[in-house]
Amino acid sequence: MNLKELYQEIILEHGKNPRNLGKVHEFNKDAKGHNPLCGDNVHVYLKLNGQKIVEDISFEGSGCAISMASASIMTDLIKGKNEHEAKEIVEDFLGMIKENPDLKSEYLKDDEKTKLMCLSGVKQYPMRVKCATLSWHTLTSAMDNSKEITNTES
Ligand code: ZN
């Protein structure tokens, strides 16, 4: 299996069996996001504990396979990270999906980087980049307590 096939398989698998789908039992931060170009909607919930560690994170939403797989992979990777690490990972991912060839964050293990890199295939499609980044922008809004709906078009 080549890298491209592996990436496609990971996306398909997460799209079919999204991790952390549904509302977490207890959360103290949440935000909604919308990508009107594709019709993707996501609502991210997280529980940040007293040590600023993401104790729990989940999402609800509907949309294309890329947006759902990206939210699934994101929640998987962010769980257990502290707020500072989470923010750096978000920046690293957004940088990679827009222009950087690789992920740089020292907070990501190699297998976690592989999972994120499988979304790098969308780089050449600006419309798909919005699908892939929707949940990440929404996570940032949640951590920053933004009450506005994250919109990929504004
Ligand atoms: Zn989409």
pLDDT tens readout for residues 113-134: 999 999 998 988 899 999 999 9
Residue 63 sits at the vertex; the CA angle it makes with 61 and 67, to the nearest 5 degrees, is 90
So where are the chain's domains? 3-143
For residue 16, the CA-to-ligand 1 centroid distance in Å is 15
Which pLDDT does position 138 carry in this prediction? 98
* Phi, psi of 67, deg, nearest 5: -65, -40
pTM exceeds cut of 0.75: yes
For residue 49, the CA-to-ligand 1 centroid distance in Å is 31
Residues with CB under 5 A from ligand 1 (ion): 38, 40, 63-64, 67, 131
Which pLDDT does position 104 carry in this prediction? 94
Q: Where residue 4 falls among pLDDT bands split at 50, 70, 90?
A: confident
- Average pLDDT on 84-93 reads 97
For residue 132, the CA-to-ligand 1 centroid distance in Å is 7
Answer yes or no: is pLDDT of 1 > 80.
no
For the structural domain made of 3-143, what CATH number should be given? 3.90.1010.10
Q: How far apart are CA 83 and CA 53, in angstroms?
A: 6
Which pLDDT does position 146 carry in this prediction? 87
For residue 36, the CA-to-ligand 1 centroid distance in Å is 9
pLDDT digits (tens, 9 = 90+) for 10-44: 999 998 899 999 999 999 999 999 999 999 999 99
- Average pLDDT on 61-86 reads 96
β-pairing, 150-151 vs 40-48, is unpaired
3-state secondary structure of 59: strand
